[in-house]
Amino acid sequence: MKNKTLLTTTLLATGCAALLFAGCAKNDREEVADKSKEVYQDTKTAVAAGWNNLKDFTFEKRNDFTATLKARQADLEAGMSKLRSEYSEANASASRKAAMAELKDSEANYKDKLAAVGNASADTWTAARDDVAAAWDRLQASYAKARAGE
């Protein structure tokens, strides 16, 4: 009889603990989902606005194009610096590490494309401009993904 009471008490305590942990996990999931939605909306708006503006630059306005992108890059770099300073690889999950690696790759790709646009001729301008804009979009998306994992 004593064993039966002990078993029942143990099962009841385990069930309550499972419900408690499940409730906490649900709140955490909802918080992460809300943050992800917010980051997605911010990125979607920024990418749409950025691309529409960037594709309007002609070869004659290439210096303005480069200056515009460098200004946007400076703003983004401030956020990336903060993100990197708060990042700890030792404590990061695999998905967080992957997001940070993707951010690093996207940044390097963007800088390469931006440097290449400086060498573009009138004939290659449209392709170079579009490559930079695509690299910029990828960089912003990578940043948003890395931020979502904070």
By residue range, what is the domain housing residue 67?
A: 36-148
If phi > 0 it is left, if psi is from -120 to 50 it is alpha, else beta; for residue 87 that is beta
Average pLDDT over residues 46-56: 60
100's enclosing H/E stretch is helix 94-117
Q: Is 97 among the domain residues? A: yes
Q: In terms of Cα–Cα distance, which of 141, 87, 79, 147 is closest to 110?
A: 141
How many structural domains does the chain have? 1
Question: What is the pLDDT, as a whole number, of residue 64?
Answer: 87
* 94: in domain: yes
Question: Is residue 115 a contact partner of residue 66, using CB atoms and an 8 Å limit?
Answer: no
With respect to residue 130, please indicate whether it lies within any of the assigned structural domains.
yes
Whole-number Å distance between alpha carbons of 8 and 14: 10
Q: What pLDDT is stored for residue 29 in this prediction?
A: 53
Kindly report whether the global pTM for this prediction surpasses the value 0.85.
no
**Mean pLDDT across 93-117:** 89
Helix (H) or strand (E) holding 76: helix 62-86
| 81 in any annotated domain | yes
pLDDT (tens digit, 9 = 90+) per residue, 63-104?
Answer: 888 888 888 888 888 888 888 887 777 677 788 788 889 999
